[in-house]
């Protein structure tokens, strides 16, 4: 890296004698000749420290980012943009269920950043590893995913039809917990008949470790339908979405926090700032996420 003073001046400039060789002869003829050399040196160094920086803040080395699987496309885009802005950095992405990532971090797995699909998983990371409590970066909504062209499910009420093969994320996984909240809300409302949740759960054939594993079951035709995030369907051309009514839907809240468990805390903090900034927000929106109020 070029020091700030060198970047602005093109290198250190020394006074020259008339013949062109370096020396301090010019200082003897300067009005500053009465100042002691140490005073001049202190003034020079103070000027260097006060010089305004230009360009992005320096960052280098690996930045390890553990992120919820539903952030795969968006964070891949963000990592590329971050590396383009900070050429010395290399973002290492680790995607999995937020619950799995929280467990990994608590067991000492190195990570500079944690981006989870709900705040509970950020809170599950012990204070020993967290540099902050985290900030909300995006919101998501639940939808029903089904194979493109399938007529097995057309409405949320159809989820309770006997004989369907449904897949949900496991309990403790954000996508599974959000689905449970949605089913509970619909069950309490009673608009889809008695015991709606129980009838739906009777159709559930598997509980998957993360939302992308749920989506894969639908893509492969191993399930008639599943509950996933709206952004997941946008990333999978083989499936289509059926809306879940707002009255029974939830806002999935994505939270990001810098960590102390990695080897590049300054790089992690800068990555978090990038995600929260205009460039990061635009890339999240481009992948279908909505932005929280600022």
In percent, the amount of the chain with pLDDT more than 70 equals 81
pLDDT of residue 131: 83
Place of tokens 């930045």: 63
Domains by residue range for the chain, with CATH: 61-139+253-286 (3.40.190.10), 140-251 (3.40.190.10)
Residue 275 is predicted with a pLDDT of 99
Among positive and negative, which fits the CA dihedral 80, 84, 85, 89? positive
HEC string of 226-266?
EEEEHHHHHCCCCEEEEECCHHHCCEEEEEEEEECCCCCHH
Q: Are 241 and 141 in contact (CB under 8 A)?
A: no
With a cut of 60, say whether residue 244 has pLDDT above it.
yes
CB 167 within 8 A of CB 223: yes
Across 59-150, where does the E strand assignment appear?
61-68, 89-96, 113-116, 135-147
Pure H helices in 118-235: 119-124, 174-189, 196-201, 211-219, 230-234
Residue 9 scores a pLDDT above 80: no
C-alpha 179: how far from chain center: 22
More confident: 262 or 30: 262
Q: What is the pLDDT of residues 140-159, one digit of tens each?
A: 999 999 999 999 999 999 99
Task: Read off the DSSP letter of residue 163.
Answer: T
pLDDT at position 56, please?
58
Task: Report pLDDT digits (tens) over 84-122.
Answer: 999 999 999 999 999 999 999 999 999 999 999 999 999
Pair 223, 165: CB distance under 8 Å: yes
pLDDT, tens digit, for every residue of 201-241?
999 999 999 999 999 999 999 999 999 999 999 999 999 99
Instruction: Please say if the pLDDT value at position 53 is more than 60.
Output: no
Average pLDDT of span 127-139: 91
- Spell out the residues 6+ positions from residue 161 whose beta carbon is closer than 8 angstroms to its own: 153, 203
pLDDT at 11 over 70: no
How high does pLDDT run on average in the chain? 86
Query: H or E element: which one contains 206?
Result: strand 204-208
Instruction: Look at residue 14 in the predicted model and tell me its pLDDT.
Output: 33
pLDDT band at 124 (very low <50, low <70, confident <90, very high): very high
User: Residue 57's pLDDT is what?
Assistant: 65
* Mean pLDDT of all residues in 121-136: 91
With 0-12 CB in 10 A as exposed, 13-18 as middle and 19+ as buried, what is 83? middle
Burial of 152 (0-12, 13-18, 19+ CB in 10 A): middle
Weakest mean pLDDT among 10-19, 33-42, 61-70, 110-119: 10-19
Which of 53-67, 90-104, 137-151, 262-276 shows the lowest per-residue confidence on average (mean pLDDT)?
53-67
């Amino acid at each position: 890296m070029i020091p700030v003073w060198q970047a602005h001046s093109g290198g250190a400039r020394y006074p020259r004698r008339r013949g062109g060789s370096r020396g301090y002869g010019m200082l003897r003829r300067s009005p500053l000749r009465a100042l002691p050399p140490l005073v001049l040196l202190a003034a020079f160094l103070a000027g260097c420290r006060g010089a305004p920086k230009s360009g992005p803040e320096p960052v280098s080395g690996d930045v390890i980012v553990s992120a919820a699987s539903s952030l795969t496309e968006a964070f891949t885009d963000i990592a590329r943009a971050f590396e383009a802005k900070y050429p010395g950095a290399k973002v290492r992405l680790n995607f999995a269920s937020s619950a799995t990532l929280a467990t990994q971090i608590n067991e000492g797995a190195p990570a500079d950043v944690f981006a989870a699909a709900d705040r509970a998983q950020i809170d599950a990371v012990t204070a020993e590893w967290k540099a902050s409590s985290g900030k909300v970066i995006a919101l998501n909504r639940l939808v029903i995913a089904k194979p493109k062209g399938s007529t097995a499910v057309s409405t949320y009420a159809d989820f309770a039809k006997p004989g369907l093969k449904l897949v949900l994320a496991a309990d403790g996984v954000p996508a599974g917990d959000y689905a449970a909240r949605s089913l509970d809300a619909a069950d309490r409302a009673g608009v889809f008949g008695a015991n709606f949740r129980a009838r739906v759960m009777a159709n559930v054939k598997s509980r998957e470790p993360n939302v992308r594993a749920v989506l894969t079951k639908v893509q492969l035709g191993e399930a008639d339908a599943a509950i996933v995030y709206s952004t997941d369907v946008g990333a999978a051309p083989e499936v289509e979405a059926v809306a879940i009514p707002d009255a029974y839907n939830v806002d999935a809240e994505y939270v990001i926090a810098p960590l102390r468990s990695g080897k590049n805390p300054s790089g992690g903090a800068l990555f978090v700032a990038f995600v929260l900034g205009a460039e990061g927000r635009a890339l999240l929106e481009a992948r279908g996420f909505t932005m929280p109020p600022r």
